[in-house]
């Protein structure tokens, strides 16, 4: 008995820790399948020995922890979780329980895909969105209304003759695959570690403090459930139809099924098709369609008896870890890569998988010669999910993260609070140099299409190019010495380089490759400071006054211009004919209605997204600033504006205007 008690305590502790990491830290320490198997084991033990169940057992709660960053809100209707199954027999067992519970009464199911995102409760009163609350612990969640208002597919107002005075809509907030991929490309551009998956990125985004930053992430939402008092719908299908009629975003992948066999056909039909959707999915939700039958079947303490979910099991294989190699990015960021014994997985042969950083290697506890389990995240990106300890040799040595750059031998650095190691030798490390040049020529920067990665590598290896400025000194004779480069190719390359001299300063500044300075920030810096000379002389205080510039970016810009080699490189680019200044102060204005007045926008607005309002002001001759000062002309105040900004504006005598006033000003 003592052994069983210890096992229950151990499982409880481990699962609670996994829950904390997943819901609070937005990390996935184990696969869904591993978690569910451990939970089932604990449920079985507690059913056999109920007196040994721990008071904090994860089987007694939905999962998730309410954070302290947002106000807590009690759910009117608890947000219960669903039971999970991975095989056909368990689904048939569920169907048998439904049949028994309904005492032979005819019933049908409603099937919909289970989206891999963040559950949200949307409360509407008199047609207006008044509150958005996360799942939290199922009984209460976090009020994230301001952030959810930025999601364009969630209606802020609903108009319909049959609208209840108050109702609740539940849905799944997600980050579309394309948005996630673009976000990772942008992070790579500015030297940040890439995000691991779209679900955790969406979860972290919903909890961000600044709703303007949330808006930039382009989150989306599918709704799937309608709740309220005395609703006139007899079936779940009818309530979904009502949501569609009210212009909510409902995924068109649902289907009513007459019996469990049709449910299984639906599951099989989406097994492969789901990967073509714009978001990640991890299974199917099956619900009894009739609302009255749902009420008859009722609930357990944790889940509804009238619904369950089938999860597609990610294909996982075990293969040998041959070695770990380390890639060096253009900003010096080091990325460890698992070199695997080739193995066939989900339609392709997998040889490599990213290990992200030293923390991940430590978490996995990797040893030399280990056999590791590999899955495909979203069936696309290979990832190492664990170690097959049963195959580990007794004398296996723990893998130690490298201490020096694999390319140039320089000792690596790791900034406090950062996960990645960096090679600081940015002017002498080959992959950093070629990476910077590749960044320089990309479409969003100098747009030199005639050059490519292999050509740049050859130019560097032959000593013809050591920095971006060297491109402008290349000759045709030099290019003709490269492999597979003929007269026409050489001419195209030189023409592309010459044409890039017409690139505006905003793009040149982005191309230079200051760490943490992406395309948008480069534009804001260019418009704010007007020239590279003014920017290079700016103090930290000056930089922080520029739009969208925080501590990290300001320090990075200061560090860049402190380096004499960078100053020399910029002068060489200037001598080559590149633009180092601009007369543009923002977006090209289509009118001068606002006469150069300065505006600071704060809060949430009924008819505008914040970025949309900023752009309208700029297009009509106004200037956008990022802080309250005595020079500010107007503070545009929306709902939930920070009290400190209002207080400071009043103290300095700044005019505070509302949404209606700025709308009238824009109309002239």
pLDDT at 610 over 80: no
- Start-end of H helices in 117-256: 145-148, 177-189, 198-206, 211-216, 236-245
pLDDT at 29 over 50: yes
User: What φ, ψ does residue 349 adopt, rounded to 5°?
Assistant: -90, 125
Whole-number percent of the chain with pLDDT over 90: 46
Q: Residue 20: which pLDDT band, with cuts at 50, 70 and 90?
A: low
Largest CA distance in the chain: 88
pLDDT at 625 over 80: no
- Contact of 31 with 314, CB cutoff 8 Å: yes
Mean pLDDT within 367-391: 82
Highest mean pLDDT range out of 41-45, 294-298, 648-652? Answer: 294-298
Q: Residue 49: which pLDDT band, with cuts at 50, 70 and 90?
A: confident
Q: Residue 24: which pLDDT band, with cuts at 50, 70 and 90?
A: very low
pLDDT (0 to 100) of residue 5: 84
Q: Residue 59: which pLDDT band, with cuts at 50, 70 and 90?
A: low
- Contact of 292 with 235, CB cutoff 8 Å: no
pLDDT (0 to 100) of residue 55: 60
Collapsing DSSP states into helix, strand and coil, what is residue 222? Answer: strand
Q: Residue 586: which pLDDT band, with cuts at 50, 70 and 90?
A: low
Collapsing DSSP states into helix, strand and coil, what is residue 247? Answer: coil
Mean pLDDT within 583-604: 76
Shared-domain flag, residues 474 and 364:
no
Q: Which helix (H) or strand (E) holds 260?
A: helix 260-273
- Least confident range of 150-154, 253-257, 345-349, 542-546: 345-349
Mean pLDDT within 296-315: 87
What pTM, to 2 d.p., does this model score?
A: 0.57
Cα–Cα dist 44/173, whole Å? 33
Shared-domain flag, residues 14 and 137:
no
Shared-domain flag, residues 32 and 179:
no
Mean pLDDT within 30-43: 76
Q: What does pLDDT average to over the chain? A: 86
Domain that holds residue 34: 2-60
Shared-domain flag, residues 234 and 361:
no
User: What CATH number corresponds to the domain at position 32?
Assistant: 1.10.287.610
Calculate ∠ Cα 284-285-289, nearest 5°. 135
Q: Which DSSP string do the residues of 127-148 spell out, in sequence order?
A: TEEEEEEE-TTSSEEEB-HHHH
Mean pLDDT within 576-583: 92
- Please check whether residue 415 lies inside any domain of the structure: no
Q: Residue 61: which pLDDT band, with cuts at 50, 70 and 90?
A: very low
pLDDT at 18 over 90: no
pLDDT (0 to 100) of residue 19: 65
- Least confident range of 2-11, 394-403, 496-505, 581-590: 581-590
- Contact of 386 with 329, CB cutoff 8 Å: no
Domain final position from 60, 82, 104: 60
Residue with the larger pLDDT of the pair 263 and 138: 263
Shared-domain flag, residues 479 and 438:
yes
Name residues whose C-beta falls within 8 Å of residue 502's C-beta, 6 or more positions apart in sequence. none
pLDDT at 64 over 50: no
pLDDT (0 to 100) of residue 83: 84
Shared-domain flag, residues 263 and 155:
yes
User: What CATH number corresponds to the domain at position 627?
Assistant: 3.40.50.10190
- Please check whether residue 480 lies inside any domain of the structure: yes
pLDDT (0 to 100) of residue 65: 34
Shared-domain flag, residues 182 and 90:
yes
User: What CATH number corresponds to the domain at position 469?
Assistant: 1.10.150.20
Domain final position from 366, 391, 416: 391
- Contact of 614 with 637, CB cutoff 8 Å: no
Domain final position from 337, 368, 391: 391
pLDDT (0 to 100) of residue 23: 44
pLDDT (0 to 100) of residue 609: 67
Shared-domain flag, residues 293 and 330:
no
- Please check whether residue 474 lies inside any domain of the structure: yes
Residue with the larger pLDDT of the pair 230 and 194: 230
- Least confident range of 35-44, 169-178, 215-224, 518-527: 35-44
Mean pLDDT within 401-409: 94
Number of domains in the chain: 5
Shared-domain flag, residues 331 and 271:
no
pLDDT (0 to 100) of residue 62: 40
Residues annotated catalytic, as ranges: 114
- Please check whether residue 385 lies inside any domain of the structure: yes
- Contact of 531 with 488, CB cutoff 8 Å: no
- Please check whether residue 254 lies inside any domain of the structure: yes
- Please check whether residue 417 lies inside any domain of the structure: no
- Please check whether residue 585 lies inside any domain of the structure: no
User: What CATH number corresponds to the domain at position 323?
Assistant: 2.40.50.140
- Please check whether residue 543 lies inside any domain of the structure: yes
Shared-domain flag, residues 205 and 303:
yes
Shared-domain flag, residues 175 and 41:
no
Distance between first and last Cα of the chain: 81
Mean pLDDT within 579-599: 78
Shared-domain flag, residues 257 and 368:
no
pLDDT (0 to 100) of residue 63: 34
247-280 per-position pLDDT tens digit: 899 999 999 999 999 999 999 999 888 888 888 8
pLDDT (0 to 100) of residue 478: 93
């Amino acid at each position: 008995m003592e052994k069983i008690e210890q096992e229950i305590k151990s499982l409880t502790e481990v699962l609670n820790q996994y829950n904390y990491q997943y819901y609070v830290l937005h990390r996935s320490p184990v696969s869904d399948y591993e978690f569910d198997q451990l939970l089932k084991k604990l449920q079985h033990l507690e059913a056999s020995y109920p007196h040994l169940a721990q008071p904090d057992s994860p089987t007694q709660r939905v999962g998730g922890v309410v954070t302290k960053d947002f106000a807590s809100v009690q759910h009117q209707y608890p947000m219960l979780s669903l039971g999970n199954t991975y095989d056909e027999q368990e689904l048939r067992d569920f169907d048998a329980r439904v049949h028994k519970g309904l005492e032979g009464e005819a019933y049908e199911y409603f099937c919909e895909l289970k989206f891999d995102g963040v559950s949200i409760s949307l409360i509407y009163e008199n047609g207006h969105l008044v509150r958005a609350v996360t799942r939290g612990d199922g009984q209460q969640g976090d009020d994230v209304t301001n952030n959810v208002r930025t999601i364009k597919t969630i209606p802020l107002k609903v108009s319909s003759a049959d609208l209840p005075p108050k109702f609740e809509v539940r849905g799944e907030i997600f980050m579309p695959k394309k948005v996630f991929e673009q976000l990772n490309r942008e992070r790579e551009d500015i030297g940040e570690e890439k995000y691991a998956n779209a679900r955790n990125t969406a979860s972290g985004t919903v909890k961000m403090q600044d709703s303007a930053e949330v808006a930039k992430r382009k989150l989306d939402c599918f709704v799937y459930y309608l709740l309220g008092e005395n609703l006139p719908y007899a079936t779940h299908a009818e309530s979904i139809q009502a949501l569609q009629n009210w212009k909510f975003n409902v995924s068109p992948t649902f289907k009513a099924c007459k019996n469990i066999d049709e449910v299984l056909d639906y599951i099989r039909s989406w097994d492969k098709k789901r990967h073509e959707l714009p978001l990640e999915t991890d299974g199917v939700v099956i619900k009894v369609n009739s609302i009255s039958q749902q009420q008859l079947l009722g609930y357990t303490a944790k889940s509804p008896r009238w619904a369950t979910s089938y999860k597609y099991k990610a294909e996982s294989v075990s293969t040998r870890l041959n070695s770990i190699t380390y890639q060096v990015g253009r900003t010096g960021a080091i990325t460890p890569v698992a070199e695997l014994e080739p193995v066939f997985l989900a339609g392709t042969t997998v040889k490599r998988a990213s290990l992200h950083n030293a923390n991940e290697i430590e978490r996995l506890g990797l040893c030399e010669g280990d056999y590791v389990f590999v899955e495909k995240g979203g069936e696309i990106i290979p990832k190492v999910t664990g170690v097959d300890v049963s195959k580990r040799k007794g004398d296996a040595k723990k893998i130690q993260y490298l201490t020096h750059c694999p390319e140039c031998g320089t000792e690596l650095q790791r900034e406090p609070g950062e996960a990645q190691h960096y090679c600081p030798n940015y002017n002498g490390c080959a992959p950093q140099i070629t990476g910077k040049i590749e960044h320089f020529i990309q479409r969003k920067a100098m747009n030199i299409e005639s050059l490519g990665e292999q050509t740049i590598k050859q130019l560097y290896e032959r000593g013809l190019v050591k920095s971006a400025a060297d491109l402008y000194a290349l000759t045709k004779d030099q290019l003709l010495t490269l492999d597979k480069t003929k007269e026409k190719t050489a001419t195209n390359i030189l023409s592309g380089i010459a044409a890039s001299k017409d690139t505006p300063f905003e793009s040149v500044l982005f191309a230079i490759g200051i760490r943490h300075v992406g395309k948008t920030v480069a534009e804001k810096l260019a418009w704010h400071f007007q020239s590279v000379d003014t920017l290079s002389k700016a103090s930290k205080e000056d930089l922080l006054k520029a739009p969208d510039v925080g501590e990290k970016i300001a320090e990075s810009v200061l560090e860049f211009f402190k380096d004499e080699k960078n100053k020399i490189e910029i002068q060489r680019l200037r001598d080559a004919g590149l633009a180092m200044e601009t007369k543009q102060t923002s977006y090209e204005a289509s009118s001068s209605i606002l006469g150069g007045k300065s505006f600071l926008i704060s809060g949430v607005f009924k008819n505008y997204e914040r970025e949309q309002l900023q752009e309208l002001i700029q297009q009509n001759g106004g200037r956008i600033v990022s802080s309250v000062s005595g020079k500010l002309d107007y503070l545009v105040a929306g709902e939930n504006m920070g009290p400190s900004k209002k207080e400071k504006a009043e103290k300095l005598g700044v005019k505070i205007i509302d949404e209606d006033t700025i709308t009238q000003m824009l109309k002239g």
